[in-house]
């Protein structure tokens, strides 16, 4: 037991026991894209050849299975595992496309109290042995659901949007995470950034948010309408190579794996469309004058 505990601190072990990283994806505020981020990072990591398992800890309000399109395959949930109605690996649902990717679904008909912190810790420890990455999807809020999700993790990704309320909640979450000994590092993921609004000073810029939270950034995801369709279809947007948000998520996954990837310059990426729009708007403006 002592041995495995020391292994959790290292990223990769060369010994026989494989020890994966347990990363919790959290935000405090709801609706900022925790679950979307989880589904996409998980899929991107699996596409890069890593063995990934995602744990949905949002008991009673599960969504991760919907985003992955695995809703119809769920037979056993995390509560069944905890209450010993099935073995842990029986409850792991394989992804439709990528056999490296697995999901441990939350129970829809129970509430957060059905699983304790210790039980989740135990599950994470077991999964660490077989997977490179264990991604824990955290429910909104800072109550028991959050405490459970964080219990087994050693790293955290805090998802936030460039809005004051989300940033404030993220600040609270960082405070809570810092007080936990198990969490060794945390990083910030800025979601739903709209370069146009940032440019016109209507939205906080990436630098502003990083300055307020004084946390290390792991990714910037632009606002993308493709997310809506991908959510409805049950297919993560990283499967769409053309999508901007999909590429941004791929970059995040690469950074998690330790590669050094420069941040995407969102203004440049949209420049072609923006230039055309500007050109036309300029023409129209002149005509009107």
Partner 1 sequence: MDKGYIENGFIVDVSNANKTSEIIYELSNVLDLPDAQCKKVCLKLGGIDLNSSQLTSIKALVESMNSELEFISTTSEQTKESADSLGVSIKEFENKIPMPEFNAEDDTINAELEKALDKIFGDNPEELESNVFNQGYRTIETEDYLYEELEEEKTVSEDENSEVNNESEQIENIIEEEISLEDIKEYTKETEKLPTLYIQRTIRSGQSITSKGNMVIIGDVHPGSEIIAAGDITIWGILGGIAHAGSEGNKFAKIRALKMNAIQLRIADVFARRPDNINIPYIQKTDTFVPEEASVRKKQIIIRKIHEGVNI
- Residues binding partner 1 (CB under 8 A): 60-61, 69, 71-75, 87, 89-90, 92-94, 96, 102, 108-109, 130, 232-234
**Other C-beta atoms within 10 Å of 25: how many?**
26
Instruction: Pick the closer one to partner 1 by CB: 154 or 231.
Output: 231
Nearer to partner 1, 90 or 265 (CB): 90
* Closest CB 122 distance from partner 1, rounded Å: 17
d(CA 138, CA 149): 5
- DSSP for the chain, written as a single string: -HHHHHHHHSS---SSS---EEEEEE-SSTTSSHHHHHHHHHHHHHHTT--EEEEE--TTS--HHHHHT-GGG--S-HHHHHTTSS-GGGGEEEPSS-TTEEEEPPPSSS-GGGS-HHHHHHHHHHHHTT-SEEEEEPPSSSSHHHHHHHHT-SEEEEEE-SSHHHHHHHHHHHHHHHT-SS--EEEEEEEEE-HHHHHTTSS--HHHHHHHHT--EEEEEE--THHHHHHHHT--GGG-TT-HHHHHHHHHHHHHTT---PPP-HHHHTHHHHHHHHHHHHHHHHHH-
Nearer to partner 1, 195 or 236 (CB): 236
The smaller minimum CB distance to partner 1, of residues 90 and 185, is found at 90
Q: Nearer Cβ to partner 1, position 59 or 177?
A: 59
Beta carbon nearer to partner 1, 232 or 271: 232
Beta-carbon contacts of residue 51 (< 8 Å; ≥ 6 apart): 20, 100, 130, 131, 132, 133
Q: How far is the CB of 255 from partner 1 (least distance, A)?
A: 28
Q: From the CB of 108, what's the least distance to partner 1, in Å?
A: 5
Compare residues 110 and 194 and give the one whose CB is closer to partner 1: 110
Q: How far is the CB of 54 from partner 1 (least distance, A)?
A: 13
Q: How far is the CB of 165 from partner 1 (least distance, A)?
A: 27
Minimum Å gap between C-beta 129 and partner 1 is 11
Give min distance, CB of 229 to partner 1, in A. 11
């Amino acid at each position: 037991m002592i041995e495995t505990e020391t292994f959790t601190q290292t990223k990769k072990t060369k010994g026989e026991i494989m020890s994966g990283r347990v990363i919790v994806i959290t935000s405090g505020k709801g609706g900022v894209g925790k679950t979307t981020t989880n589904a996409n990072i998980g899929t991107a990591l699996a596409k890069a050849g890593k063995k990934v398992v995602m744990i949905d800890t949002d008991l009673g309000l599960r969504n991760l299975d919907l985003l992955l399109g695995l809703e119809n395959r769920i037979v056993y949930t995390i509560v069944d595992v905890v209450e010993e109605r099935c073995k842990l690996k029986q409850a792991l649902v394989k992804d439709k496309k990528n056999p490296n990717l697995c999901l441990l679904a939350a129970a829809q008909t129970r509430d957060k109290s059905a699983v304790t912190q210790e039980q989740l810790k135990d599950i994470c420890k077991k999964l660490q042995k077989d997977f490179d990455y264990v991604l824990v999807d955290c429910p909104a809020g800072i109550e028991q659901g959050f405490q459970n999700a964080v219990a087994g993790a050693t790293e955290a990704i805090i998802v936030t949007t460039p809005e004051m309320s989300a940033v404030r909640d993220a600040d609270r979450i960082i405070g809570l995470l810092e007080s936990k000994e198990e969490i060794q590092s945390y990083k910030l993921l800025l979601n739903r950034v709209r370069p146009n609004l940032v440019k016109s000073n209507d939205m906080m810029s990436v630098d502003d948010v990083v300055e307020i939270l004084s946390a290390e950034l792991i990714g910037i995801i632009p606002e993308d309408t493709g997310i809506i369709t991908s959510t409805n279809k049950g297919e993560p947007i990283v499967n769409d190579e053309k999508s901007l948000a999909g590429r941004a998520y791929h970059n995040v996954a690469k950074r998690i794996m330790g590669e050094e990837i420069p941040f995407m310059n969102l203004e440049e990426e949209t420049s072609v469309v923006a230039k055309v729009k500007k050109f036309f708007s300029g023409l129209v403006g002149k005509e009107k004058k």
